[in-house]
Amino acid sequence: MSAGVELDHITVRFGEFTAVDNATLDIKGGEFFSFLGPSGCGKTTILRTVSGFLEPSDGAVRIGGQDMRGIGPNKRPTALIFQNLALFPLMSVAENITYGLRVRGVGKADRRKKADELLDLIALRGQGDKLVSELSGGQKQRVAIARALAVQPKVLLLDEPLSALDLKLRQHMRNELRAIQQLVGITFIYITHDQGEALTMSDRIAVMSDGVIQQVADGKAVYDSPTTSFVASFVGENNAFAGTVIRADGDYAVVDTAFGPLRGRNSQGLKPGARGILFVRPESARLQQGAADATFKSKVKNVAFEGNMSHVFLEGIGKKDVTVTVGRRDGSEIPGQDDIANISYDPDLGLVLPEGKMARE
């Protein structure tokens, strides 16, 4: 059984410092929901308020519609998996998995049954008697998940659980976590600073910066239609051209950039005179000769060949290069160093957003 989680105007202050600022959102029962943001943006603080280890300074957390004020961590229908997993290395796998059940006074036969059921789920059937210290990193990870699931939480909270694993295993565990979540059907709330994890696993993502939720949407919308300059610059690569909006007609706006007037979708309804940034993703830009809707020229600084694609770095504004990614299948000719290239893009793939804080300046 799953439960939804509502954050109702949550603010968390540590002294003068506001770690979470007025966060409101509604996580649905059975959803795989991620909080994505750079270190220190307040993700863990949100998780701690949901789990009950921290009371918010303002606002309320509701789980399954029930106000959690005054309800301690052990009384909430949640379980938490930490980054370091916190397994007991000298206990067997089965003992680890059923630890929470033993604490709750569940008898041996029932514990064994539950352990077998969960060992099946995490593909470790027949390995319950091994010591945790004998397991690989990925297996330990799965035991931590099984242990958390044993107490039948309605919401599983995961705080960067994959960050200690190597890259290959991390990518593999993404698929496993998602599959386990779909099998058990409970709500997963997942904290990460890794956009690849958030994009591959989540039904929806909340992108955070400096304690503020910037956008809540599914991965595709976060990538294709970011609503703030922070989200546009934090998720994936993006070329950014700042300037004043000189025209706004229908769905489009034109920004007067250092490369001249450039056009893109005006999703936030900017008016002429406002400061804006036109974002164009490297894979949305093209290098070509001839007329195009929106076009400017720049000099090629260098080309990085990556097998299935090449990244062409061109002189940008200030220190920031303009990047164009050319896929093998695009069939475009790749210019050489010092060539003057003609850069174009479909204005529907350009996005004009209000000038604001950027990620990774």
The DSSP secondary-structure symbol of 131 reads B
Closest to ligand ATP by CB, 210 or 330: 210
Instruction: Quote the least distance from Cβ 201 to ligand ATP, whole Å.
Output: 17
Strands (E) in the chain, as ranges, are: 5-14, 17-27, 32-36, 58-63, 66-67, 78-81, 155-159, 187-192, 204-209, 212-217, 239-249, 252-257, 260-265, 275-280, 285-287, 294-305, 309-317, 320-327, 340-345, 350-354
Q: Is 239 in the site for ligand ATP (CB under 6 A)?
A: no
Closest to ligand ATP by CB, 41 or 287: 41
Instruction: Identify residues 158-197 at the interface with ligand ATP (CB under 6 A).
Output: 193
Q: Is 243 in the site for ligand ATP (CB under 6 A)?
A: no
Cα separation, 79 vs 151, whole angstroms: 8
Closest to ligand ATP by CB, 45 or 238: 45
Closest to ligand ATP by CB, 83 or 295: 83
Q: What residues are paired with 310 via a beta bridge?
A: 305, 326
Closest to ligand ATP by CB, 212 or 312: 212
Closest to ligand ATP by CB, 41 or 232: 41
Instruction: Quote the least distance from Cβ 77 to ligand ATP, whole Å.
Output: 22
Q: Which of 110, 104, 18 is nearest to 57 (CA)?
A: 18
Instruction: Identify residues 8-27 at the interface with ligand ATP (CB under 6 A).
Output: 14, 17, 19
Q: Which of 2, 32, 36, 37 binds ligand ATP (CB under 6 A)?
A: 37
Q: Is 43 in the site for ligand ATP (CB under 6 A)?
A: yes
Of 37-45, 226-234, 272-280, 341-349, the window that binds ligand ATP (rule: CB under 6 A) is 37-45
Closest to ligand ATP by CB, 43 or 311: 43
Closest to ligand ATP by CB, 211 or 276: 211
**Which amino acid is located at 65 in the chain?**
G
**Applying CB under 6 A, what is the total number of residues that bind ligand ATP?**
12
- Are 345 and 338 a contacting pair, CB within 8 Å? no
Instruction: Quote the least distance from Cβ 7 to ligand ATP, whole Å.
Output: 14
Tokens of 203: 């039904």
- Are 335 and 300 a contacting pair, CB within 8 Å? yes
Instruction: Quote the least distance from Cβ 43 to ligand ATP, whole Å.
Output: 4
Instruction: Quote the least distance from Cβ 277 to ligand ATP, whole Å.
Output: 25
Cα separation, 320 vs 233, whole angstroms: 13
Question: 4: Cβ–Cβ under 8 A, 6 or more apart, which residues?
Answer: 26, 27, 28, 29, 31, 63, 64, 65, 187
Q: Is 214 in the site for ligand ATP (CB under 6 A)?
A: no
Q: Is 80 in the site for ligand ATP (CB under 6 A)?
A: no
Q: Is 44 in the site for ligand ATP (CB under 6 A)?
A: yes
Residue 177 CA: distances (Å) to CA of 43, 92, 111 = 19, 22, 23
**Which amino acid is located at 288 in the chain?**
Q
Instruction: Quote the least distance from Cβ 266 to ligand ATP, whole Å.
Output: 31
| Number of CB atoms found within 10 A of residue 4's CB | 18
Tokens of 220: 């595709």
**Which amino acid is located at 132 in the chain?**
V
In the block, which residue shows the tokens 């297996």? 139
Q: Is 56 in the site for ligand ATP (CB under 6 A)?
A: no
Instruction: Quote the least distance from Cβ 12 to ligand ATP, whole Å.
Output: 8
Instruction: Quote the least distance from Cβ 211 to ligand ATP, whole Å.
Output: 7
- Determine the residue with CB nearest ligand ATP: 44
Q: Which residues bind ligand ATP (CB under 6 A)?
A: 14, 17, 19, 37, 39-45, 193
